[in-house]
Amino acid sequence: MCRAAPSAAARCEQEAPMPKCMRSTRIAVHCWDRLTGDAIASWLDALPGWLVVGTTVAVDDFVLLCRLRPPDVAVCQLEPVELGLPRLLSRTLPGLHVIGICPEFRDEDEMLLRASGVHQVVCVRGGLASLRAALDRAWVGRAPASAPGALTDRELEVLALVCIGLTAAELGDKLRLSPHTVVNHKRRIFGKLGVQSRAQAAAEATRLGLIRPNGHVPGVRVRPEAAPALTHRDHDILASIARGESVRQTAQALGIAVKTVEAEQHQLFVKLRVHNRAQALTEAQRLGLA
């Protein structure tokens, strides 16, 4: 006897808990191998129902990430010296579910991870399907625990636009905020990130995975403009790149420190959504900015 096909709502109930249809599960990823962490984040970003709030390499950065954007689930590839992380997270974010991942499955590794406070252990050598199954089991059906100093949704919007170089006036126009409100948002964001400038904020947000390499900020609806606003210093750096100069030569030409060039250059890369000097010049020329 043929049965009628289930409705979309019925299929949702069968395939996942009902609350998952209502909001995405927030995941923070920590891997000592940056390539593995980025691969996991990209894979999860492409799946419905999951939101990767950030990725880190260093433990201290991961603790900060979990405070700034509290997750439902932490996916961690831990070294032996990092086994205290799950217990630390459980104290700051009660109810956080921690999944430990390893490239190969060994009984002694599982025992160590379980003893450290990890809830599930997953071997990813054969692919990430087992990780998805673990995430399905891990979902707890409630909002992430709040944490003092967490970034608000509005602050994430402001951070996304600050990092691509919008001025306070441009940012206010885009978000329909007064200049005073924009300044207050920037002050609070810089305080939470522990930075003093726009360039430092962009570098910190990128290191924590709050901003993807393509400039996207997960969970933020505001999208950057096609052609970002460049400062005079940005154009000076692009001109130096066009002359084939090194970072040190750029610093000498502009009369500033090498570290200052590196910070300004990093912010330029974020604006243009590129990863190196050659790409920056090519993209700037494509957009008519150089």
CATH number at residue 36: 3.40.50.2300
Is the residue at 219 inside a domain? no
Residue 57 is predicted with a pLDDT of: 94
Please tell me which residue, 216 or 266, carries the higher pLDDT value. 266
Task: List the CATH number of the domain containing 279.
Answer: 1.10.10.10
**Is residue 132 domain-resident?**
yes
State whether 79 and 111 are in the same domain. Answer: yes
What is the residue-averaged pLDDT of the chain? 82
For residue 121, pLDDT beyond 80: yes
Supply the pLDDT for residue 283. Answer: 80
* Domain closes at, from 86, 114, 138: 138
My answer on whether 45 and 111 are in the same domain is yes
Would you tell me how many other CB atoms lie within 10 Å of the CB of residue 190? 18
The last residue of one of the domains, among 138, 163, 185, is 138
Q: Is the pLDDT of residue 139 over 70?
A: no
**pLDDT class of 144 with cuts at 50, 70, 90:** low
Cβ within 8 Å of residue 250, ≥6 positions away: 237, 240, 241, 261, 265
Do 110 and 181 lie in one domain? The reply is no
3-state SS record for the chain: CCCCCCCHHHHHHHHCCHHHHCCCEEEEEEECCHHHHHHHHHHHHCCCCEEEEEEECCHHHHHHHHHHCCCCEEEEECCHHHCCHHHHHHHHCCCCEEEEEECCCCHHHHHHHHHHCCCEEEECCCCCHHHHHHHHHHCCCCCCCCCCCCCCHHHHHHHHHHHCCCCHHHHHHHHCCCHHHHHHHHHHHHHHHCCCCHHHHHHHHHHCCCCCCCCCCCCCCCCCCCCCCCCHHHHHHHHHHHCCCCHHHHHHHHCCCHHHHHHHHHHHHHHHCCCCHHHHHHHHHHCCCC
Instruction: Provide the pLDDT confidence category of residue 3 given band limits of 50, 70 and 90.
Output: very low
More confident residue, 33 or 165: 33
pLDDT value at 221 more than 60? yes
pLDDT recorded at residue 20 = 42
Dist. CA 152–CA 232, nearest whole Å:
31
What confidence category does residue 61 fall into, taking pLDDT thresholds of 50, 70 and 90?
A: very high
Backbone angles phi, psi at 60, to 5 degrees: -60, -40
Q: How many domains does the chain have?
A: 3
Residue 198 pLDDT > 50, yes or no? yes
The residue among 252 and 103 whose pLDDT is bigger is 252
Domain range enclosing 164? 153-207
- Whole-model pTM: value is 0.69
Same-domain status, 132 and 173: no
Specify the pLDDT at position 203: 84
Query: Is 83 in the same domain as 168?
Result: no
Residues 176 and 239 both lie in one domain: no
Residue 264 is assigned to a structural domain of this protein: yes
* 170 and 276 part of one domain: no
pLDDT digits (tens, 9 = 90+) for 8-54: 433 333 334 434 445 688 999 999 888 888 889 989 988 888 899 99
What integer is the mean pLDDT of 184-198? 93
Q: Are 63 and 116 in a shared domain?
A: yes
